[in-house]
Structure 1
């Protein structure tokens, strides 16, 4: 089984800091999966989206109540959601 992805190891394709008049934005590339955008529209609230044929599709909204304080932490939270978990009774195979 492959090791879980770490957001800190993903290539950053674009990064813009949050300013008063525009949201912060970071675009990550996940090999074999595509581009993911983390937007911080308001302080402490992050939207994770993926690029599809019809444009950006929102996947999840995270904030401080989810222990997410940065774009990197938001991307890591999404990667964790996507990582299969192991059950102790199935011989170590990821459950579906």
Structure 2
């Protein structure tokens, strides 16, 4: 039984040793890229209104409030159909939010 175990152990060690140079091949450039990827996105701005931009209704009137983030701004809607309307023409609602919030 020992020879079989030794054979399996030596194969496993050889397999790990063969992979070691790849890990050591990491360059400073690849490390820098990893840091750039790990950079966190800034937190989106909160939605300043208590009403849906699409219908003008209160956000909790439909018991179906949905949220999305577009260009760093959070948008909240009273229901999923309003979110669909927003997605068809987000620029319209970005302008409406700017106008409504001051």
Name the TM-score, length of structure 2 as normaliser.
0.25
Q: Larger % of helix: which?
A: 2
Between Structure 1 and Structure 2, whose CA radius of gyration is higher? 2
Q: What TM-score comes out, normalization by structure 1 length?
A: 0.25
